[in-house]
Chain A
């Protein structure tokens, strides 16, 4: 048993793929995919004949709820249960583990979004493909950004509870990002809190972009910037934090 494998130095798609497959197996096994599908598609029964921009907003809200259900526990379950530590001893890096789990979650969420398209487009006989692509791109950046925030939360707090806490956060963040709510607080606390809330990707930002795409007007530059930067920034922060984390810290404590 000499000849141990040479030290892997670069990102391995094989390892990330293996992590992705195992994540998909877990989501299927725990019926979480089924739950996410129900939570994303069932609300459409209550959506009536409303303008396309409203239906796109609904698509975003329902999809992000589905993503939150699917992404709940991504990385966190492996960190707490120990599989991450064992994968680590088999040369899997933090980035590979996180990328693998994120890929599965995003792929399945994309499926959820596609499954909702008939509901989104049912009252429109002709929709500009360019508009659909631009809206899809906005939705995609929002989903990746939100998942990256979820992954960061998973590396910070123990258990799937951190991901479940993301659902109320969907409501709280837009409120905090406004100007009024934090007004009574001292500026030293209010400003950083508001800035942080404004840097988080929320469905409201995507809705602003849809409105601009469909109805014109002044481009929501801040929303576009946050949506575009969020996936990169938050995923980098999450990956860096996971890399700093001791793989066995949560199982040994």
Chain B
């Protein structure tokens, strides 16, 4: 089976102005990404990392300056349109004067669907994103959350094989987040490949099969949400961490030194205060203590703070 999306060393620079007044911003500096069929790849990274630019390139809406992009094993020319690829923008890019139903009918018409099927698809899309009751509202009257739902509805109307979503979960109320998450899981189960850019770490942890961390326009590393244990670890800043580790290992064998800090797994029956008190009773000078959880947030911060070369291939 060919990969729905394969991006190799993608570069993109935005230019503005004329002649000697041209200014440019390098948005992508060699980004690599692959998405397999039925996978939900999360894109995570700081603001300005290049996530949205990459999604626009992957949707065929921006032309990369360098690198290769292929969809379902096919490379398109610089002006080629990828087919079977849907895109959900971060903000409303729809005709504001149309009602929700009219907008969806418009997109269905672009797919040259016959009248009856068009109506059925529109109704089904409205139902799936929970917008049936809002079908007669104008796009200009929609809240941000509703616009995101409309975005998903227009994306699925053409029955795509690859869906690219840019910050679609932002602006949704908790119920909306849950509904869209459920819809994305359904799509994935139907074999649709999804690439989702989001800052919603909890959603990504639950949804994504793989998370690609982007920083400074490059792939900075990859995280596998399936290996996250949720285990809590007490991190102590102490003098002589190696010596301290040996001292406490008699009671907490999992104690280890990481990055000049003493890490002690918080197992049942041991509290933060008890461990700190025990360390002090052994003569270990504890300067600070904090509890960290092995979750996506922690892994992300660990990864993003590392230099790119170290982070590459990290799972």
Contacts and interface: CB of A to CB of B under 8 A. Distances in A.
A113 B304 CA distance: 64
Interface stretch (B103-111, B200-208, B228-236, B292-300): B103-111
Contacts of B81: 7, 88, 91, 93
Contact of A82 (B14, B93, B156, B191): B93
A252 interface: yes
A165 interface: no
Given A1-B192, A90-B107, A253-B16, A85 B61 contact: yes
Report, as a range, how many residues of chain B touch the other chain: 35 or more
A6 B112 CA distance: 11
B97 to A, nearest CB: 4
Contacts of A93: 81
Interface residues of A, number: 40
Interface string B14-27: 10100000000000
A5 B157 CA distance: 11
B251 to A, nearest CB: 55
A5 B83 contact: yes
B228 to A, nearest CB: 29
A7 B77 CA distance: 14
Contacts of B159: 1, 3-5
B109 A15 contact: yes
B53 A252 contact: yes
Interface stretch (A21-29, A144-152, A170-178): A21-29
A5 B84 contact: yes
B248 interface: no
B43 interface: no
A90 B107 CA distance: 7
Interface stretch (A42-50, A205-213, A230-238, A239-247): A239-247
Interface in A51-103: 81-83, 85-93
Contact of B56 (A12, A29, A90, A248): A248
B87 A18 contact: no
B161 A2 contact: yes
A2 B84 CA distance: 9
A107 interface: no
A5 B158 contact: yes
Given A22-B98, A25-B97, A1 B61 contact: no
Contacts of B158: 4-5, 90-91
A34 B227 CA distance: 63
Contact of A7 (B83, B92, B95, B106): B83
B74 to A, nearest CB: 9
Nearest to A77: B95
A162 B85 CA distance: 32
Given A249-B62, A252-B62, A253-B14, A4 B161 contact: yes
Contacts of A22: 95, 98, 106
B112 A12 contact: yes
A214 interface: no
Given A81-B93, A86-B93, A91 B62 contact: no
Contacts of B225: none
A90 B62 CA distance: 15
A166 B161 CA distance: 43
Given A89-B87, A246-B62, A251-B93, A1 B110 contact: no
Nearest to B105: A18
Contacts of B160: 1, 4
B244 interface: no
A90 B111 contact: yes
B295 to A, nearest CB: 31
A247 B112 contact: no
Given A18-B109, A88-B61, A246-B63, A4 B95 contact: no
Contacts of B53: 252
A14 interface: yes
Contacts of A90: 107, 110-111, 154, 157-158
Most buried by A among B56, B85, B107, B110: B110
A81 B89 CA distance: 12
Nearest to A14: B112
Contacts of B91: 82
A82 B83 contact: no
A21 B108 CA distance: 14
B268 interface: no
Nearest to A87: B110
B79 interface: yes
Given A8-B83, A89-B87, 9 more contacts: A1-B192, A5-B83, A7-B81, A17-B109, A22-B95, A83-B94, A89-B60, A243-B79, A252-B62
11 contacts: A2-B161, A2-B190, A5-B112, A22-B95, A26-B95, A86-B87, A88-B61, A90-B111, A91-B111, A247-B61, A252-B52
Interface of B: 14, 16, 52-53, 56, 59-63, 79, 81, 83-87, 89, 91-98, 106-107, 109-112, 154, 156-161, 187, 190-192
